[in-house]
Amino acid sequence: AATKRKPDGPAGRPKKRAKRAPSAAEPNAKPGPEGAGQAEYSIPPPVSQGKWKNKERVLIFSSRGINFRTRHLMQDLRTLMPHSKADTKMDRKDQLFVINEACEMKNCNKCIFFEAKKKQDLYMWLSNAPQGPSAKFLVQNVHTLAELKMTGNCLRGSRPLLSFDPTFDKEPHYALLKELFIQIFSTPRYHPKSQPFVDHVFTFTITDERIWFRNYQIIEEDASLVEIGPRFVLNLIKIFQGSFGGATLYENPHYQSPNMHRRLIRLSVAAKFREKQQVKEVQKIKKKGSKVLIGEDPTEVVFETPAEEKPVEIQLVKPESKPIVKDKKKPRKIQRKKQKKLFRTEA
């Protein structure tokens, strides 16, 4: 019978030895337990590991009632941001300040929250929990990674470059949003889940009073770019002093709510329909109205020339009747027809 092996017994496994013995000049050399000149050495750490000072963690989650496109967009952002964390969907009946407690439980100091309303409108909250500030956006023109099928590709977990429009430095509210974007979307240096490479760019461009987000891959050293995705447009609504609430620091005067936009579309369609109905009623009134009789036109006889009067002649004698000329060829034609009929019957 096989004897049980004991770790401390003579039959136990021998301890692993170092592959090579370091020289005496190495400071990390430690004498082995056997004291036979063997020493263990430490393997140097990888390049990406270092002092992780900027411990930014972003909580990315949503409310209930989002559609498939929003869910895919949220998953794409989690993939592109290795310093992000996920959480379960929040009930729509809960207040927004509850998110601060969720961030504290997840040990996150930044938050991206997707709020869905009426199953068709999507709002995005960017917040610095729990002190603030926070910004609320309306998300439009959403296209995900799987939907675009772009040719670009980047390493998973690599750190991005952030490119901002020059307008961000001209307006104070845009400067605040720029700092918020930098703290949320930039991957901290020496993050455990990040890679020590920079191979893609996040661009934030301001056009038509909206912020356009794009993601590009750097394929050459001469800064030639290929789009990766996802892409979406942020329409700023308000900037609050606190996290998910507080005093309003800025309100966008150019913002138009989706409800108002849909209402204006319905009103324009209704106005066109009313205009058509009014035109039809006017045409019916014209048809039913009595025709106005116009008096005699004095200019009608301008081009009429009087005809010469001829004397009336009364004929007292009956005119002579014309002589009746008989057609001599007619009886011959009748006779030929009779012969043809007889021939056909005999045949």
Return the residue matching tokens 């401390």.
Answer: 8
Pair of tokens at residue 19: 């592959």
Q: Which residues pair with 231 in a beta bridge?
A: 143
Q: Decide if pLDDT at 234 tops 80.
A: yes
* Residue 187 banded pLDDT, cuts 50, 70, 90: very high
Place 165 in a pLDDT band, splitting at 50, 70 and 90.
very high
Q: What pLDDT does residue 176 have?
A: 96
How far, rounded to the nearest angstrom, does the alpha carbon of residue 39 sit from its chain's CA centroid? 62
Look up residue 269 and give its two tokens: 């369609």
CA-to-CA distance for 137 and 255, rounded, in angstroms?
10
Out of 14-23, 166-175, 198-207, 302-311, which region has the weakest mean confidence (pLDDT)? Answer: 14-23
Helices marked H in 211-257 — which ranges? none
Least confident piece of the model among 49-63, 153-167, 260-274, 299-313: 299-313
How do strand 225-227 and strand 210-218 relate by DSSP bridges? antiparallel
Q: Which has the closest alpha carbon to 135: 258, 59, 62, 240?
A: 240
72-86, 241-255, 301-315: least confidently modelled range? 301-315
Average pLDDT rounded to a whole number, residues 110-137: 94
The whole-angstrom separation of Cα 113 and Cα 178 is: 18
- Alpha-carbon distance values, 113 to 78, 143, 204, 233, 330 (Å): 12, 18, 19, 16, 110
Position 327 pLDDT exceeds 70: no
pLDDT at 99 over 70: yes
Average pLDDT for residues 298-320, to the nearest whole number?
A: 82
Q: With the C-alpha atoms ordered 67, 68, 70, 75, is the resulting torsion angle positive or negative?
A: positive
The DSSP secondary structure of 96-156, one letter per residue, reads TTHHHHHHHHTT-SEEEEEEEETTTEEEEEEEETTT--EEEEEEEEEE-HHHH--S----T
78 three-class SS:
helix
- pLDDT in the model for residue 13: 53
Per-residue pLDDT at 311 exceeds 90: no
pLDDT of residue 132 exceeding 90, the answer is: no
Range scoring the smallest mean pLDDT among 27-31, 147-151, 230-234, 289-293: 27-31
Task: Name the residue ranges covered by the structural domains of the chain.
Answer: 58-261
Q: Which is more confident, 51 or 185?
A: 185
Specify the CATH class of 58-261 in words: alpha beta
What confidence tens digit (pLDDT) does each residue in 10-46 have? 444 555 554 454 444 444 444 444 444 444 667 655 5
Partnered with residue 233 across adjacent β-strands are: 140, 212
Q: Please say if the pLDDT value at position 290 is more than 80.
A: no
pLDDT at 161 over 90: yes
> Which candidate, 96, 98, 97, 107, places its Cα nearest to that of 57?
107
Q: What integer pLDDT is reported at residue 29 of this predicted model?
A: 44
- Is 74 within 8 Å of 86 (Cβ atoms)? no
Residues above pLDDT 70, as percent of the chain: 83
What is the model's pLDDT at position 185?
95
How confident is residue 215, by pLDDT bands cut at 50, 70 and 90? very high
Are the beta carbons of 134 and 179 closer than 8 angstroms?
no
Mean pLDDT across 256-264: 94
Mean pLDDT score of the chain, rounded to an integer? Answer: 84
Distance CA 233, CA 246 (A): 25
Identify the CA nearest to 251 among candidates 192, 173, 194.
173
